[in-house]
Copies of this chain bind each other. A is one copy, B any other.
Amino acid sequence: MLNNYNTEDKVLLSVDCIIFGFDNEGLKILLIKRDFEPEKGKWSLMGGFLKKSESLNGAAIRVLNRYTGLQDIYMEQLYAYSEVDRDPVDRTISVAFYALINIENHNTALIQDHEAEWFSISKMPKLIFDHNEMVAHAIRRLRYRTSTKPVGFELLPEKFTMRQLLELYEAILDKELDKRNFISKINSLDILVKLNEKDMLSSRKGSYLYMFDKEKYDAKLLNHFVLNL
């Protein structure tokens, strides 16, 4: 009677991270120049191999931290990519994750060390292996997720204006939104607090700052909303 699986094949498992950021130019993804063979020097997602002692989530967190210095980041597992010849060197299955970060917070020096760069999602270079497919998948998932869960705020500073939020959703959904309708839909979710504080940088009049009110959201015992924008 067996109580091990010794006859089964073992394979390499890696994680690849699609790191989203948002600034006034739009939605961006952080890419690196791959620093080992094969495909050394080509643009690539940030990745790493799973160690026996960690979960996939743990590996993804480790990889993200290594390249950005960040911790406690919103991250979601996307999909496992397993075509037999996806990596020419060795049989490797890769599980993609996407992360949402506030683009102002990461460690710029670390990024430079790794020759990483932010790319607009509309101007992505050709990536190695099946990484472009992963990115396309991540964008689809992000679109869905931001329409059902309060994750968009992860891409903004803690305090943000309605205009920033609007532009974020426009960038994610890749379509223009009506300002008045957008604001009333967001307000009807009742998950933001309006601060007594204005951002005076973007206009003469100044615009009120808002924060996501996590406690209010959690108190609703809602596990998702439906935001039709």
Residues of A contacting B: mostly: loop
The stretch of A49-57, A63-71, A169-177, A199-207 in contact with B is: A49-57
Which residue in B3, B51, B89 is a CB contact (below 8 Å) of A9? B51
The stretch of A80-88, A151-159, A183-191 in contact with B is: A80-88
Is the C-beta of A221 less than 8 angstroms from some C-beta in chain B? no
Q: Is B50 touching A9 in the complex (CB atoms < 8 A)?
A: yes
Q: Is B5 touching A56 in the complex (CB atoms < 8 A)?
A: no
Which residue in B10, B53, B83 is a CB contact (below 8 Å) of A84? B53
Chain A's interface size range is 35 or more
A29-69 vs B: 1/0 string, CB under 8 Å? 00000001110000000000111111111000000000000
B-contacting residues, A4-26, CB 8 Å: 4-5, 8-13
Across-interface contacts of A91 in B (CB, < 8 A): 52
Q: Which residues of A are in contact with B by a Cβ distance under 8 Å? A: 1-5, 8-13, 36-38, 49-57, 77, 79-80, 82-84, 89-93, 95
25 contacts between A and B (CB under 8 A): A1-B36, A2-B36, A2-B37, A3-B37, A3-B38, A3-B89, A4-B89, A5-B12, A9-B12, A9-B50, A9-B51, A9-B52, A11-B11, A11-B50, A13-B93, A50-B82, A52-B91, A55-B82, A55-B84, A56-B80, A56-B82, A56-B93, A77-B80, A80-B80, A80-B95
